[in-house]
Amino acid sequence: MSKEAAFKYSILASGSTGNSFYLETPKKKILVDAGLSGKKIESLLKEIDRDIKDIDSLLITHEHGDHIKGIGVLARKYGIQLYANELTWQELDSKNSLGKIPHEQKHVFEMGKTKTFGDIDVESFGVSHDAIAPQFYRFMKDNKSFVLLTDTGYVSDRIRGTIENADAYLMESNHDIEILRMGGYPWKTKQRILSDQGHLSNEDGAEAAFRVLGNKTKRIFLGHLSLNNNIQELAHMTMDGFLAQHDVDTKRDVHIIDTSHEHASKLYDI
């Protein structure tokens, strides 16, 4: 790790088919979610020359399958320590969503709290999504921070106050509203996605990003794109256009970066 880097990170996968995020410091290697098969998560880590055996902790955002699919098998195979809030644990356990996990590997990380993992602090914050108690995370070390924010129908003033002026964001750009409305999903599913407990559209994500970015912000990753209701270029253009309209220089000051459903991003320093 370079001397000036507080930590390194990679978006292993982000999208409606599966989500996982990797972060490392000199003392810790952490995953957030593992919404693909265990084998795929191992493969994604290998893309950035990292080994699943070195993962210390795995933070869970919520119980939906595109965030938890590979967690059970990875936890049993490698003894990874798991963290979620109490209500999410109750939901996971009641439905046996992860299979049998040894009690000593299950830890509570309550919403709105900050927990220290080795040499990095992690703050959890609640979001508005149709899960039991969904929460996302802000990672903080040496006055640097990274925020994960997807799977929310809107961004409240409370959330904005928690996450503003981070160095980088993974910000949801789930769908284009017109593509969703004209698409083949059942009307009830469309209503769910568009609701305050659904997902941020490209426009919503762009506005949310603008409202939280500050003079420290250098990167905005476009997250959780729908395979059926979005187009990568459209999401990028919407974010770029909105920020440019509000005098944000996306060529020099803040860089917009696409993510993938299938391949890990490079390993970034922060």
Domains in the chain, start-ordered, CATH in brackets?
8-269 (3.60.15.10)
How far, in whole angstroms, is CA 31 from its chain's centroid? 10
Cα dist. 230→15, 97, 125, 236 in Å? 10, 29, 27, 11
Check if the beta carbon of residue 226 is closer than 8 Å to that of residue 262. no
**Which residues are within 8 A (CB) of 231 and not within 5 positions of it... i.e. 6 or more apart?**
176, 179
C-alpha radius of gyration, the chain, whole number? 17
- In which band, very low, low, confident or very high, does the pLDDT at 2 lie, cut at 50, 70 and 90? very low
**Which residues are within 8 A (CB) of 219 and not within 5 positions of it... i.e. 6 or more apart?**
167, 168, 169, 254, 255, 257, 268
DSSP bridge partners of 57:
30, 81
- In which band, very low, low, confident or very high, does the pLDDT at 176 lie, cut at 50, 70 and 90? very high
Check if the beta carbon of residue 56 is closer than 8 Å to that of residue 75. no
Q: What tens digit of pLDDT does each residue of 43-77 get?
A: 999 999 999 999 999 999 999 999 999 999 999 99
In the prediction, which pLDDT does 171 show? 99
Q: Tell me the three state secondary structure of residue 74.
A: helix
The one-letter amino acid at 43:
S
- Among residues 134, 140, 128, 201, the alpha carbon closest in space to that of 168 is found at 140
Predicted confidence (pLDDT) at residue 1 exceeds the cutoff of 70: no
The one-letter amino acid at 129:
H
Length of the chain: 270
Q: What pTM did the predictor assign?
A: 0.97
Check if the beta carbon of residue 166 is closer than 8 Å to that of residue 138. yes
Q: How does strand 114-117 pair with strand 120-126?
A: antiparallel
In the prediction, which pLDDT does 169 show? 99
Q: What tens digit of pLDDT does each residue of 180-205 get?
A: 999 999 999 999 999 999 999 999 99
> Within 13 Å of residue 53, how many CA atoms lie on the same side as its CB?
1
Q: What tens digit of pLDDT does each residue of 212-247 get?
A: 999 999 999 999 999 999 999 999 999 999 999 999
Return the structure tokens found at 158.
């409370």
- Among residues 262, 265, 263, 264, the alpha carbon closest in space to that of 17 is found at 262
- In which band, very low, low, confident or very high, does the pLDDT at 3 lie, cut at 50, 70 and 90? low
What sign has the CA pseudo-torsion 18, 57, 111, 211? negative
The chain-wide mean pLDDT, for the chain, equals: 98
Cα dist. 64→8, 35, 60, 95 in Å? 26, 8, 10, 12
d(CA 2, CA 4): 6
